Structure 1
């Protein structure tokens, strides 16, 4: 079984938000001043997707990031 990282989950949420908003990667890249290739690399995991970049991308799609910190339930069960 493959474990999904927080970064993978964020990437998936960003891609879904772009899809829902009907935004192309080319349009988002143009508005953010980054190459389409680099944006694609961030969204596929070939380059790091920082919270700052994710926030900018999601803002164009009408979304915001909300971070919740909670105890790790796996650590408590051990």
Structure 2
């Protein structure tokens, strides 16, 4: 089984944040200025969810995007 990519994880977290905040996709689109089709595509992986879009969407859900790094685990493959 393969690990989810960073983009997959960001999409999943963004969808969950919207659901937890009770914000509809239509409301997100009204506030950030995109079509519901495009938002749906970003949240399902049919379009790229950029950090800029994710930041705006998460902000509407009362969250902020934080990006970090950490060292590889000893013995992990790159």
Q: TM-score, normalised by structure 1?
A: 0.92
> Aligned-pair RMSD on alpha carbons?
1.0
The residue number in structure 1 matching 2:39 is 39
List, as ranges, runs of 4+ consecutive aligned residues in structure 1 with deviation greater than 4 Å. none
Aligned residues: 76
Q: Equivalent residue of 1:77, what SS?
A: coil
Q: 1:54-73 residue pairs with structure 2 within 5 A?
A: 54-73=54-73
- Could you say which residue in structure 2 is the equivalent of 1:10? 10
Pairwise CA distance, 1:53: 0.3
Shift, 1:2, TM fit: 2.8
Structure 1 unaligned runs (5+)?
none
1:20 paired residue number: 20
* Higher share of residues assigned helix: 1
What's the counterpart of residue 77 of structure 1?
75
Structure 2: tracts of 5 or more residues without a match: none
2 CA distance for matches of 1:51 and 1:63? Answer: 13
